[in-house]
Amino acid sequence: MSGKVDKLIEDLKKVVGQDYVLSEQADLMVYEYDGSVDKAFPVLVVLPSDTKEVSEVVKLAREHDLPIVARGAGTGLSGGAVAEKGGIVIAMSRLNRILEVDETNRIAVVEPGVVNLDLSLHTGPMGLYYAPDPSSQRACTIGGNIAENSGGPHCLAYGVTTNHVVGMEVVLADGSITWFGGKGRDYPGNDLRGITIGSEGTLAIATKIAVRLLRIPETTKTMLVVFDDVETASSAVTGIIGAGIVPAAIEMMDHFCIEAAEAAVNAGYPEGAGAVLLVELDGLNESVEEESEEIESICREFSPLEIREATDPEEREKLWAGRKGVLGALGRLAPNYYLVDGTIPRTKLVDVLRQINELSERSGYKIANLLHAGDGNLHPSILFDERKPGDTENILAIGAEILKICVEAGGVLSGEHGIGLEKQEQMPFMFTEEDMAAMTLLKLAFNTNDSLNPGKIFPTGAACGDISQARAIARVGPGAYI
């Protein structure tokens, strides 16, 4: 290791402490991957404990011209936390404190390493909870949710991360510290908060986050509706939403997902079903009862095999445990899976799922379909074995084809997992070169020098590091709008 890097390590240890700078290969291996198929070794991993330390680490990284990747729990599914360009990974796991809870105004201030579910567990005795609930909420962190603008089953009614963050303290690429937004629900000026959420760590690093809390609903009702096939279940979803009902969640699983989840969790899903819908309603007693009756009536028009209501909290928890544990359970069906994340109009569910099934039959690879069906967010999981030559390349090509199908149906490339490394080559499905060049101007505006999470989101030739500043600035001139 060069003397220059040795000097950097010593300087970093002065900032964060002797035990919180990792440089040995065995330690770095833990940080070479996230939940995606991509891997890359960082040069160093640093674990700061507060905003000031993050700022000092960023300044040292810029001084040594090293890129930075801010990392949460590593549960992301698009390669966003992979240090593709090497450099320094700033792991935020020590910034894990809930700093403030304002019960009256229903605002909490947390650090980015706080686990998503832990915030709701902390505020539950106050009658409050944090609504965004990714399936990995027992492990994923709110900082990572900020980077990817994560959703979850209940985003149908309550929205995604950006709808629940009112402000955040950030460290910029030069190490300076500032706030975007605040602790109030309205804040004047440009919405730098909104721009940063979902930017996948390419513009700033969040170190404190002010979030909205909601009152725990008076009543929650969970229904399991069983169908012969995915097409009929999809039609029922369209019928529910078309009737003007917006449940808290409508989740769908096909027969592969049902088989895996039931074997792993024993959630009570019926054998032999082609698809199930998990429908949840919450709110006032009267409205929940009225809407559940209407949903049951709509579903019966599509000849379900069974309609069941969870009779107690334990049964509801088991039903959701099956849904939230299904991805891990797919390991029972194949050594590996590749999870695709695309979103389509709800009215196109039947047609798009038909095309995905046809693609599965043509390719010979099983595809397990898991959906946030209420808002059209698809998660087809392509089952494969990475030990077989050519399997990884084949499933990546199938994933790209699925995303193309989604976009051609009027949808988008990602519902909640982000673009990262995974989907950057598919960006031209949705965006022109001019679109992408305009988006890269944000990096110039934030003066990142492409040092924050470089090589993500944009395809080769369109990333900020590949579009020269002269070319980008040339687009800003007389008559141009920024």
Helix (H) or strand (E) holding 196: helix 192-196
Residue 377: predicted pLDDT? 95
What's the burial of 361, exposed, middle or buried (CB within 10 Å: 0-12/13-18/19+)?
exposed
Helix (H) or strand (E) holding 361: helix 349-363
Checking if the pLDDT of 481 tops 80, the result is no
Q: State the pLDDT confidence band at 461, using cuts at 50, 70 and 90.
A: low
Residue 476: predicted pLDDT? 33
φ, ψ of residue 269 to 5 degrees: the values are -75, 140
Closest CA relative to residue 65, chosen from 479, 465, 417: 465
Q: State the pLDDT confidence band at 480, using cuts at 50, 70 and 90.
A: very low
Closest CA relative to residue 284, chosen from 217, 215, 221: 217
CATH classification of the domain holding 287: 3.40.462.10
Residue 397: predicted pLDDT? 96
| Domain C-terminal end among 35, 70, 91 | 91
Checking if the pLDDT of 327 tops 90, the result is no
Which residues span the domain enclosing 116?
98-215
Cα–Cα separations (whole angstroms), residue 455 to 149, 357, 459: 19, 33, 8
Residue 185: predicted pLDDT? 74
Whether residue 78 sits in one domain with residue 107: no
Q: State the pLDDT confidence band at 311, using cuts at 50, 70 and 90.
A: confident
Question: ∠450-428-481 over CA atoms, to 5°?
Answer: 60
Residue 298: predicted pLDDT? 97
Q: Domains in the chain: how many in total? A: 4
Checking if the pLDDT of 349 tops 90, the result is yes
DSSP structural state of residue 125: G
Residue carrying structure tokens 């194949």: 334
State the Cα–Cα distance between residues 309 and 279, nearest whole angstrom: 9
Whether residue 56 sits in one domain with residue 147: no
Answer yes or no: is 368 within a domain: yes
Cα–Cα separations (whole angstroms), residue 256 to 252, 319, 326: 12, 16, 10
Checking if the pLDDT of 258 tops 80, the result is yes
Answer yes or no: is 116 within a domain: yes
Whether pTM > 0.85 for this model: the answer is yes
Checking if the pLDDT of 29 tops 90, the result is yes
Whether residue 10 sits in one domain with residue 114: no
Averaged confidence pLDDT in the chain: 92
Cα–Cα separations (whole angstroms), residue 162 to 92, 116, 142: 20, 14, 11
Answer yes or no: is 159 within a domain: yes
State the Cα–Cα distance between residues 97 and 235, nearest whole angstrom: 44
Checking if the pLDDT of 463 tops 70, the result is no
State the Cα–Cα distance between residues 167 and 158, nearest whole angstrom: 18
Phi/psi-derived region of residue 390, left when phi > 0, alpha when psi is between -120 and 50, beta in every other case: left
Q: Which residues contact 329 (CB under 8 A, 6 or more apart)?
A: 260, 261, 263, 264, 265
Whether residue 361 sits in one domain with residue 234: yes
pLDDT digits (tens, 9 = 90+) for 87-131: 999 999 999 999 999 999 999 999 999 999 999 999 999 999 999
State the Cα–Cα distance between residues 67 and 59, nearest whole angstrom: 11
Checking if the pLDDT of 173 tops 70, the result is yes
Q: What is the mean pLDDT of residues 282-308?
A: 96
Answer yes or no: is 23 within a domain: yes
Q: What is the mean pLDDT of residues 270-279?
A: 94
- Token duo for residue 9: 């390590």
